[in-house]
């Protein structure tokens, strides 16, 4: 489920937020390739915010998705959401920043790291077991030689 969180320092009183939510939902669904029924948009207004050292209209967004994101899609999403905010809230495109999180990519990265870690652990354990086996064999051989010198046979 893609979720777009938008925060702006613009006061939303008297603004048709339904139109913003609807357009943002449509844009996200279309560009990511998910049904609109799966898209969530959160819009917060009157958030204390400074961008470039001024408190003129600005906005910040975070988009979280399980797959569907890549540099080309991210560029298009950024442009589409910026256009909506400029049209509906008079936030200049240059005063909007959108951060992307692809949880599928993060999951795959963690799975790769876990796989590499498990390989390293397996190699360590295999080496340790072989070392223990070699030490045990040497110890048993040493003991057998000592017992044979003493005339003991097992």
**pLDDT tens-place string over residues 41-67:** 999 999 999 999 999 999 999 999 988
Q: Give me the pLDDT at residue 148, please.
A: 75
Q: Do residues 98 and 57 share a domain?
A: yes
Kindly state the average pLDDT of the residues 3-27.
98
Fill in the DSSP letter of residue 143. Answer: H
Domain span at residue 25 reads 2-103
Taking only the tens place, the pLDDT of each residue in 99-148 is 999 886 666 665 676 666 776 777 777 777 778 877 778 887 887 777 77
Q: For residues 68 and 37, which has the higher predicted lDDT (pLDDT)?
A: 37
Neighbours of 64 (CB within 10 A): 16
Q: Do residues 68 and 115 share a domain?
A: no
Q: Do residues 18 and 90 share a domain?
A: yes
Long-range Cβ contact pairs of 93-97 (< 8 A, separation 24 or more): 95/51, 95/52, 95/56, 95/57, 95/58, 95/59, 96/58, 96/59, 96/60, 96/61, 97/51, 97/59, 97/60, 97/61
Q: Do residues 48 and 91 share a domain?
A: yes
* Count: domains in the chain: 2
Taking only the tens place, the pLDDT of each residue in 95-111 is 999 999 988 666 666 56
Q: Do residues 65 and 85 share a domain?
A: yes
Task: State the pairing for strand pair 59-65/96-102.
Answer: parallel
CA distances from 149 to 68, 105, 137 (A): 75, 66, 18
Q: Give me the pLDDT at residue 81, please.
A: 98
Specify the pTM.
0.69
Q: Give me the pLDDT at residue 142, please.
A: 81
Give yes or no: 2 in active site: yes
Q: Do residues 22 and 95 share a domain?
A: yes
Q: Do residues 43 and 31 share a domain?
A: yes
């Amino acid at each position: 489920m893609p979720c777009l969180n938008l925060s702006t320092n613009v006061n939303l009183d008297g603004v048709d937020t339904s139109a913003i939510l609807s357009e943002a939902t449509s844009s996200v669904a279309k560009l990511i390739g998910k049904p609109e029924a799966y898209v969530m948009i959160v819009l917060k207004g009157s958030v204390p915010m400074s961008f470039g050292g001024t408190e003129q209209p600005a906005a910040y967004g975070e988009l979280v998705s399980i797959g569907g994101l890549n540099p080309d899609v991210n560029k298009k999403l950024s442009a589409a959401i910026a256009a909506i905010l400029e049209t509906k809230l008079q936030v200049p495109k240059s005063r909007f920043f959108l951060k992307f999180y692809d949880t599928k990519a993060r999951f795959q990265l963690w799975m790769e790291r876990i796989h590499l870690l498990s390989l390293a652990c397996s190699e360590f354990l295999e080496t340790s077991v072989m070392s223990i086996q070699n030490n045990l064999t040497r110890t048993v051989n040493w003991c057998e030689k000592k017992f044979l010198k003493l005339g003991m046979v097992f």
